[in-house]
């Protein structure tokens, strides 16, 4: 299993719009082979969020991302997504390989 995480801070006023955008984006990722997407909000700080995307391995991630980038629906969603953050600051990305 290979996961990609995104950590970000979202102004609370943008939560509803963020959820609507994510629902559409998740559907696109799943259509192109992503194994799953989970969204978490920090239990103590409602501004902090974590997104977890699951893939088989690095190649699977690369294949899904390539297909998603060719999907005409994703560009406008990504622009809307970035507009929700202060100074259009993109989330911090990390990758992990399952060891056990």
Other beta carbons less than 10 A from residue 50's beta carbon: 15
Task: Encode pLDDT of 2-39 as tens digits.
Answer: 999 999 999 999 999 999 999 999 999 999 999 999 99
Model's pTM, two decimal places? 0.90
The residue behind tokens 């998740």 is 26
Report the Cα 52 to chain-centroid distance in Å: 7
Walk me through the domains of the chain, giving residue ranges and CATH numbers.
Answer: 2-97 (3.30.70.100)
Q: What letters, b where the CB count within 10 A reaches 16 and e where it falls short, cover 8-20?
A: bebeeebeeebee
What angle do helix axes 58-70 and 15-31 make, rounded to 10 degrees? 110
What tens digit of pLDDT does each residue of 35-81 get?
Answer: 999 999 999 999 999 999 999 999 999 999 999 999 999 999 999 99
SS3 state of residue 40: strand
């Amino acid at each position: 299993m290979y996961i990609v995480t995104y950590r970000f801070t979202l102004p609370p006023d943008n939560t509803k719009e963020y959820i609507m955008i994510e629902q559409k984006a998740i559907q696109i990722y799943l259509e192109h082979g992503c194994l799953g997407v989970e969204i978490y909000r920090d239990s103590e700080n409602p501004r902090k969020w974590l997104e977890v995307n699951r893939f088989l391995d690095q190649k699977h991630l690369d294949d899904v991302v390539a297909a998603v980038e060719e999907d005409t629906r994703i560009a406008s969603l990504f622009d809307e997504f970035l507009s929700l953050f202060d100074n259009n600051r993109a989330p911090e990305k990390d990758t992990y390989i399952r060891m056990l």
